[in-house]
Amino acid sequence: MGLRTLVEREPELAVAGEVGSPLELTEWLHAHPCDLLITDYSMPMQAQQDGLRMLEYVRQHWPQLPVLVITSLVNAGVFRAILNTGVRGLIGKGSLLEELPQAIAHLRRRKLYIARAVSRELLQAGENRQDRPFVQETLSPRELEVTRLFGAGLSVSEIALAVNRSKQTVSAQKVSAMRKLGVPSDAALFIYLQQYVES
């Protein structure tokens, strides 16, 4: 009820449906289109389903659906596993009031959103290589350009349009930059750029 209240504070948003288990969620998604899924990581378990299996199923069957995960857990390993499923947003229950509107706005624009507390936990746990500050010389000018645009929230397709290159070229440049910076995923790159470019 609290989550519904927070969502419906925004006049352009409406709650299309509510479910109480992973099975109910997948059945509902098969029958109803929606623009954004907000889900708790820990819902009542059925048939040995867990949060990661649920998220992987959703990403497999609805790959274009932005997914925002909410959790009360504070565990870098769990955070990393959640983000590795391809969800676009991750936020802790403790910061819902402060960060939920911003998170929804980011995901509606197809941008990644990782709550500040989640980013801090991942950094402290070594998700990113803090011994290698963001030094422009480590990247080619085009790799640097691509990573900065990614950090600003643009998708690979949007970056390709902005810099007048193919999506394949931009994707290859992003992957090369991630390898040089030592970050294993889009989420890790986003956190890295927040830490070293915005600070």
pLDDT(131) > 50: no
pLDDT(177) > 90: no
One DSSP character per residue, the chain reads -HHHHHHHTSTT-------SSHHHHHHHHHH---S-EEEES-----TT--HHHHHHHHHHH-TTS-EEEEE----HHHHHHHHHTT-SEEEEGGGHHHHHHHHHHHHHTT--EE-HHHHHHHHHTTSS-TTS---GGGS-HHHHHHHHHHHTT--HHHHHHHHT--HHHHHHHHHHHHHHHT--SHHHHHHHHHHHT--
Is 170 or 180 the better-scoring residue by pLDDT? 170
Using one digit for the tens of pLDDT, what is the confidence trace for 35-64?
999 998 876 554 445 678 888 899 889 988
pLDDT(31) > 90: yes
In this prediction, residue 47 carries a pLDDT of 44
CA-to-CA distance for 56 and 129, rounded, in angstroms? 27
In this prediction, residue 111 carries a pLDDT of 82
pLDDT(134) > 70: no
Using one digit for the tens of pLDDT, what is the confidence trace for 79-129?
888 888 888 899 988 877 788 888 888 888 888 888 888 887 877 766 544
Q: Do 51 and 30 contact (CB within 8 A), yes or no?
A: no
Is 16 or 182 the better-scoring residue by pLDDT? 16
pLDDT band at residue 133 using 50, 70 and 90 as cut-offs:
very low
Q: Which CATH architecture has domain 2-124?
A: 3-Layer(aba) Sandwich (3.40)
* CA distances in angstroms from 5 to 98, 157, 172, listed in the order given: 14, 34, 42
- CB atoms closer than 10 angstroms to residue 186: 18
Is 67 or 44 the better-scoring residue by pLDDT? 67
Q: Which CATH architecture has domain 136-196?
A: Orthogonal Bundle (1.10)
Using one digit for the tens of pLDDT, what is the confidence trace for 164-174?
999 999 999 99
In this prediction, residue 195 carries a pLDDT of 62
Spans of all domains in the chain: 2-124, 136-196
Domains 2-124 and 136-196 share a fold: no
